[in-house]
Amino acid sequence: MLLQQIVYDMMGWGITIDIGVPLYISIWTLLLALFLFYEAKRYIYQQLKPLRTAVFFSEKGMIIGAIVGSVLMILSIAAHEAGHAVAASAFNFPITGAGVTGWGAYVSLPDGYAKGTPWAMIIVSFAGPITNILLALVCYVIVRLMDESLAENTIQFVAHMNYRLGVFNFAPFIVLDGGKFVLGVMRLFFSEDLAFTITMTISGVMLGWFLFFRKSEKDSRNFIERELEKA
């Protein structure tokens, strides 16, 4: 039965494994792994650039560091979701499923989660990003205790990416943890409908600001490059 389920799901671009709850692993997870490998290799290369003549530097070593870094980041993403799961369990929300896809990972909570208490929504949504921030802090402490090396730069990459992951997920967009956090806070003071409307408004304003800021930054960079070419 398990083999049939795996074969069937692989035809649907993924596999499902029973680990107490259904764990779905998408074939697109390979893209996530490749992206993390590329980011790790690029980061480590930049950090080791002044030390390329050092004995420990080699292309093979850098690839190994990138593989280790990408694996640790996949585990960090899993830890992010585990943070949500632990917090949800504390409020007696059963975990109905979990998965890893090309864009990250997720845990499935029942529909009642959104209708739970505001504090439940606040804490469950906050648990994921804070897990990554704590992992980043632990990695930074380890880095401070190490000498400059391939291993040190690999851990530094994990710290850097965990920090970025935590901050990104805490952005106040409704599809991210930050949006759910804001919605939970709004529900403390307003009705369900008004809280949702306010949260969506905040998400829209922040998205517009982000897109405008990115465009302005790009325009400014292009202007500077043109002026430098004239000079």
146-203, pLDDT tens digit by residue? 887 888 889 999 999 999 999 999 888 888 899 999 999 999 998 888 988 998 998 8
pLDDT surpasses 90 at 129: yes
Please give the residue range of the domain that contains residue 57: 2-171
What is the predicted pLDDT for the residue at 214?
A: 61
What is the predicted pLDDT for the residue at 112?
A: 57
pLDDT surpasses 70 at 228: no
Cα separation, 201 vs 209, in Å, equals 12
pLDDT surpasses 80 at 91: yes
In a domain, 123, yes or no: yes
What is the maximum alpha-carbon separation in the chain?
71
Which one is predicted more confidently, 212 or 75? Answer: 75
Q: Does residue 15 contact residue 6 with C-beta atoms inside 8 Å? A: yes
In a domain, 189, yes or no: no
Residue-wise burial string across 13-43, b where 16 or more C-beta atoms lie within 10 A, e elsewhere: ebbbeeeeebebbbeebeebbeebbebbbeb
In a domain, 21, yes or no: yes
Cα separation, 185 vs 204, in Å, equals 17
Which one is predicted more confidently, 199 or 45? Answer: 199
- At 78, the pLDDT band (50, 70, 90 cuts) reads confident
104-108 sheet: strands from edge to edge: 14-18, 22-26, 97-101, 104-108
- Mean pLDDT throughout 99-126? 79
In a domain, 182, yes or no: no
pLDDT surpasses 70 at 220: no
In a domain, 179, yes or no: no
Span 7-18, pLDDT tens digits: 444 445 677 776
From 21-30, 74-83, 121-130, 160-169, the region with the lowest mean pLDDT = 21-30
The count of C-alpha atoms lying within 13 angstroms of the C-alpha of 40, restricted to the half-sphere facing its C-beta, is: 28
Written as six digits, the tokens of 121 are 């929504």
DSSP structural state of residue 107: E
Nearest to 114 by CA among 184, 186, 189: 184
- At 29, the pLDDT band (50, 70, 90 cuts) reads confident
Question: What do you get for the CA distance between the two ends of the chain, in Å?
Answer: 71
What is the predicted pLDDT for the residue at 134?
A: 95
List phi, psi (to 5°) of 146: -110, 155
In a domain, 219, yes or no: no
Q: Does residue 117 contact residue 195 with C-beta atoms inside 8 Å? A: no
Written as six digits, the tokens of 201 are 């408004």
In a domain, 199, yes or no: no
What is the predicted pLDDT for the residue at 155?
A: 93
- Mean pLDDT throughout 71-86? 89
State how many domains the chain has.
1
In a domain, 205, yes or no: no
